[in-house]
Amino acid sequence: MIRVLVTGANGFVGREATAALCKAGYEVRAAVRRLEPSVEALGCETVAVGDMSAHTDWSTALRGVDLILHLAARAHITRDTCADSLAEFRTINVGGTTSLAKQAAQYHVRRLVYVSSVKVNGEVTNGRAFTEDDPPDPCDAYGISKWEAEQALRRIASGAGMETVVIRPVLVYGPRVRANFLTLLHCVYRGIPLPFAAVRNRRSMIALRNLIDLLVCALQHAAAAGETFLVSDGEDHSSAGWVRRIAGALGRPARLLPMPVSWIRFGARVVGQQNIVQRVCSSLQVDSSKAVKQLSWHRPVNVNEELRRTADWYLGTFGRREGISAWPQLDRHASTDRGRSSR
């Protein structure tokens, strides 16, 4: 039986990935920061490795492992209050990944699949989707740390004969989503008018189940070795289009106002939310054709299916409450699993 180590196994992406791998017949070992009641629900062997850094001891987690799915990371944070944000991201995302790769090579791990981010490519596209051939252009500390981690991983693996695969997803949505996508669900469910009707952008996203399907494929497909793949649902929509899709899944009207983009940007500057508005108003598209062609990958679900699944989870979790008592803080807190909804 093939043993797979999943780091960040109790996160948004990690939980579903762990379940999918168990169902596919792999022997899964879940690496988490600490053992707690929620970890028991993973239904597989679990190992606590503590905080991730260049000094993390992965030896217990790596014994007998054939493949690694590396999800653990300090996630993108919109309003970061750290004095040195880049240093914090480097400690976890670069130092932790480097440590894992070096120790994995010593334990003769055959392949490591690293979940990076589209932010390595950049923040905005202008009429042409990003491809794997585009030069990296990370614009913030999170994107820089992910790009540096990719490079460190390649260097270590090439010297050790370990195969690597890099996956760069766009924004991920699905049940248990958090951060900005959850805030959008709250707004649509409550009928809060959103000023996006005049926004003519195009945004790529990816359903959680589609991402998991590609990750499982990348663990063993021969044509994936040494490659980088951008991944999305293959359906790009405007911000207004996404709101309409979400409203339809929730059974709520889409309340959209035709506010000029210049007004939205001005208002964002006044309240210090320029970064969030950039994502709402600008385009970010990726071309996933390489994964489709090279890996013969077919997305198992479409946008409407995953949005319905997300809406069912949302309604079951929040819909019965009298109001919503706890709104998510927009990416304010660090995460040890990159499977947040923000990219």
Query: Would you say residue 261 lies in a domain?
Result: yes
Residue 168 lies in a domain: yes
Q: Are residues 209 and 258 in the same domain?
A: no
Distance CA 19, CA 3 (A): 14
Are residues 262 and 246 both part of a single domain? yes
Candidates 56, 75, 28; CA nearest to 48 is 56
What pairs with residue 230 in β-bridges? 168
Task: Tell me, yes or no, whether 100 and 166 share the same domain.
Answer: yes
Residue 290 lies in a domain: no
Residues 153, 41 share a domain: yes
Q: Which string of b and e fits 49-58 if b means at least 16 CB within 10 Å?
A: beebeeebeb
Does 217 lie in the same domain as 275?
no
Q: 119: domain CATH number?
A: 3.40.50.720
How many domains are contained in the chain?
A: 2
Distance between CA 233 and CA 31 in Å, rounded? 28
Edge-to-edge strand order for the sheet containing 228-231?
45-48, 27-32, 3-7, 67-70, 111-115, 163-169, 228-231
Per-residue pLDDT at 334: 39
Tokens standing for 167? 């996956």
Residues 83 and 169 in one domain: yes
pTM of the model as a whole: 0.90
Q: Which residue in the list 26, 107, 114, 142 is annotated as catalytic?
A: 142
What integer pLDDT is reported at residue 35 of this predicted model? 83
The CATH number linked to 247 is 3.90.25
pLDDT in tens, the chain (343 residues): 899 999 999 999 999 999 999 999 999 999 999 887 777 677 899 999 999 999 999 999 999 999 999 999 998 665 556 668 899 999 999 999 999 999 999 999 999 999 999 999 999 999 899 999 999 999 999 999 999 999 999 999 988 999 999 999 999 999 999 988 999 999 999 999 999 999 999 999 999 999 999 999 999 999 999 999 999 999 999 999 999 999 999 999 999 999 998 888 888 777 776 677 777 889 999 999 999 999 999 999 999 999 999 999 999 999 765 344 433 433 333 344 444 434 5
Q: Are 99 and 184 in a shared domain?
A: no
Q: Exposure of 160 by Cβ count < 10 A (0-12 exposed, 13-18 middle, 19+ buried)?
A: middle
Does residue 342 lie in a domain region?
no
Give the per-residue pLDDT at 77.
61
| Same domain (yes/no): 30, 165 | yes
Distance CA 149, CA 93 (A): 6
If phi over 0 gives left and psi between -120 and 50 gives alpha, with beta otherwise, what is residue 153?
Answer: alpha
* Spatial contact of 204 and 265, defined as CB atoms under 8 Å apart: no
Are 161 and 211 within one domain?
yes
Compute the 3-state secondary structure of the chain and give helix, strand, coil in percent, each to the nearest 5. 45, 15, 45
CA dihedral 37, 57, 64, 147 (to 10 degrees): 90
Residues 216 and 101 in one domain: yes
Question: Is 173 known to be catalytic?
Answer: no
34 shares a domain with 89: yes
Model pLDDT, residue 297: 97
The answer to whether residue 326 sits within a structural domain is no
Pair (31, 46) in one structural domain = yes
Q: Is 240 a member of any domain?
A: yes
Domain with 260 in it: 179-203+235-284+302-319
How many other C-beta atoms lie within 10 A of the C-beta of residue 266?
A: 11
Burial 270-283 (b: 16+ CB within 10 A, else e): eeebeebbebbbbb
DSSP assignments along 133-154, one per residue: TSPP---SHHHHHHHHHHHHHH
What is residue 146's predicted lDDT score, i.e. its pLDDT? Answer: 97
Residue among 228, 247, 233 at smallest CA distance from 204 = 233
Asked whether residue 343 is domain-assigned, the answer is no
- Residue 165 maps to a domain: yes
